[in-house]
Structure 1
Amino acid sequence: MVTTKGEATRAAIVDEALQMASQVGISSLSIGGLASVTGMSKSGLFAHFKSKEQLQLQALTRARKLFVDSVVRPALGVPRGEPRVRKLFEGWLVWEQTAFAGGCIFVTLAAELTDRPGVVRDALVDNERDWLELLGSTAASAVATGEFRSDLDTAQFAFEVHGIKLAHHHATRLMRDPLALERTTAAFESIVAAARPMG
């Protein structure tokens, strides 16, 4: 796929914007602020994004693509059922630790945008719903293979796994808990064990 110079420049700007947003929040992103960090002119940045809101939306779209490439696609490459459930969770842990300086961008934005209605929040909500649906459908595939019990509430399973994700971010980023990863792994294993058939 051919990428124009303009597309490559825009992608580089958005990547820089995401790193900033992971640390200071997406609401703090502005054309002027990004111009000073990237060394570009405000007019040059405006030509790419037109508005602060468009910059924020493109940053969120870029984050979603990176997440799909880093976490979702590798998980779809392993057998369905529990192996895929595990791969999704393990992929998210790596994403949380390595993708952005401030950790998982989606958790950071969720805390920031909870009470701020608008198109950026709406886009984030759509993204989080897709993630929960993916976790649920992946758990359902483990039900279909017989690895999880037939009466498993897959939406509840997704909710609890997502909760571990939020707890891990909190323990790691805010509390600086040295046992955060160990506790996260133990919590995940507990949920998976409870999802398996009895006996």
Structure 2
Amino acid sequence: MADGRVERGNQTRRAVLERTVKIASVDGLEGLSLGKIATDLGLSKSGVFALFGSKEDLQLATVRAAREVFVEHVVRPVREAPPGAAKAWQLFLSWLEYSGRRVFPGGCFFYSVSAEFDARPGPVRDEVARARADWIGYVERVLDEARLAGAFRPGFEAADVPQLAFEVMALMELANAHSVLHEDPSAYERAGRGILGRLRAVAAAPDELPERPPAVDYAV
């Protein structure tokens, strides 16, 4: 019986977080309300309070749940690919598809909540910053592994990796922002062209990369 109560609690927690990550991507983490979520899901308010305790706890759990979704859609599909420029491109394409196909209704969850909390010190900001730092670190690691594998032209050094990562991520996040604000999916195709252009410019064998991004049916 105790195990049954634990499992029901876990199921309720998953149901709540499936709802909160979607709400927060549109309304922000401040838009979350334990009482409203309980009502929306037909749950008891006391049960939801027992699982999370406070709004801040709910916000932190939501960020962590969103991170799991992000990893599932963006990182995991390319994790086992051999190092190289093709793996880097596939990673960036996975990000564009994650944002453009609206895995979260508001586009990239972390772009949205970063703007909300970037100047607000506290545990939630720290959790968001940690998730973004891990993503940036992963992008840089994929690019550096490609460099070490000889995928980039001579002269492209370790010091060039953070700059390339910054430029690529700027294109991805601008595509996200433009598409959300203007409901314009063409932003992803333009970002993809820009990213491919940068990768081909430094690639030792640019012909191994496509000349243009594939046609993708974005959900914008």
> What is the TM-score of this pair, normalised by structure 2?
0.84
Q: State the 1:197 CA deviation.
A: 4.0
2:28 aligned with 1:21, yes or no? no
Aligned to 2:15: 12
2:138 aligned with 1:131, yes or no? no
Amino acid at match of 1:167: L
Amino acid at match of 1:89: F
Query: Which whole-Å deviations, capped at 9, do the CAs of 1:26-53 have from their partners, x for residues lacking one?
Result: 1111212212221222211101100100
CA distance in 2, matches of 1:175, 1:76: 32
Q: State the 1:192 CA deviation.
A: 0.7
Aligned to 1:107: 111
Amino acid at match of 1:14: L
CA distance in 2, matches of 1:104, 1:88: 15
- Which deviates more from structure 2 when the two are superposed, residues 64-73 or residues 130-139? 64-73
Larger Rg: 2
Amino acid at match of 1:161: V
Paired residues of 2:89 and 2:196 also in contact (CA < 8 A): no
Gaps of 5+ in 1: none
CA distance in 2, matches of 1:53, 1:61: 12
RMSD: 1.9
Give identity over the alignment, percent: 36
SS in 1 for 2:184: coil
Paired residues of 2:176 and 2:188 also in contact (CA < 8 A): no
Query: Which whole-Å deviations, capped at 9, do the CAs of 1:42-77 have from their partners, x for residues lacking one?
Result: 211101100100101011111111111221111112
Q: State the 1:101 CA deviation.
A: 1.0
Higher relative contact order (CA 8 A, sep 6+): 2
CA distance in 1, matches of 2:135, 2:185: 27
2:173 aligned with 1:166, yes or no? yes
SS in 2 for 1:98: coil
CA distance in 2, matches of 1:194, 1:76: 24
SS in 2 for 1:101: coil
Runs of 4+ in 1 over 3 A off after TM superposition: none
